């Protein structure tokens, strides 16, 4: 059972790789025309939703694996806090992404919301890299 959970956990980490490429995709948004920005934003909304589902997989499989090993309390708390930060920011950035689509459909400029998404995407990138490091190098008791 542990091997299955580990496989699903690694698969989930791969799915969260969306947050590794997100800053580069958002960087392209300001160089696109209105319809291109709208299409990119719609694609990013879908990618973000899929990444949120992978976060659920990570939560379930990670919880199982934490229960099977002897990790330090500090490592467990740090892992959970980083996980929750990624989940929260991933959810928060959905609203500016949806606003980009709505503003472009209304013929307005979406540069403010693109800047918000860019900021969230860089924070998510940093958190994802940190949590990958923590997961690959856990400190045991």
Residue-wise pLDDT for 61-119, tens only, equals: 999 999 888 888 899 999 999 999 999 999 999 999 999 889 988 988 888 888 999 99
* DSSP type of residue 137: S
Question: Is 81 domain-assigned?
Answer: yes
Q: Is the pLDDT of residue 39 over 90?
A: no
pLDDT of residue 69: 83
Question: Is 48 domain-assigned?
Answer: yes
Considering the entire predicted model, what is its pTM?
0.88
pLDDT of residue 127: 96
What domain range is 68 assigned to?
2-136
Coil, helix or strand for 138? Answer: coil
Q: Is the pLDDT of residue 59 over 60?
A: yes
Question: Is 36 domain-assigned?
Answer: yes
Cα–Cα distances in angstroms (integers) from residue 69 to residues 76, 83, 141, in the given order: 11, 18, 10
Q: 109, 110, 113, 124: which is closest to 23 by C-alpha?
A: 124
Give the Cα separation of 9 and 47 in Å (integer): 18
Q: Are 141 and 70 in contact (CB under 8 A)?
A: yes
Q: Is the pLDDT of residue 32 over 90?
A: no
Give the Cα separation of 138 and 123 in Å (integer): 22
CA 125, 126, 127, 130: dihedral to nearest 10 degrees?
120
Q: 42, 43, 54, 118: which is closest to 86 by C-alpha?
A: 54
Question: Is 84 domain-assigned?
Answer: yes
Question: Is 141 domain-assigned?
Answer: no
Residues 6+ apart with CB under 8 A from 62: 9, 79, 83
């Amino acid at each position: 059972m542990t091997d299955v959970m580990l496989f699903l956990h690694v698969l989930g980490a791969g799915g969260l790789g969306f947050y590794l490429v997100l800053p580069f995709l958002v960087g392209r948004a300001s160089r696109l025309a209105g319809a291109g920005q709208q299409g990119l934003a719609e694609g990013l909304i879908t990618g973000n939703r899929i990444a949120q589902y992978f976060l659920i997989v990570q939560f379930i499989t990670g919880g199982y694996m934490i229960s099977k090993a002897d990790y330090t309390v500090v490592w467990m708390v740090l892992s959970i806090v980083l996980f929750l930060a990624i989940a929260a920011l991933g959810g928060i950035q959905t609203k500016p992404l949806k606003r980009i689509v709505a503003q472009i459909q209304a013929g307005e400029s979406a540069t403010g919301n693109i800047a918000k998404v860019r900021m969230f995407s860089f924070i998510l990138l940093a958190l994802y890299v940190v949590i990958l490091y923590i997961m690959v190098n856990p400190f045991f008791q």
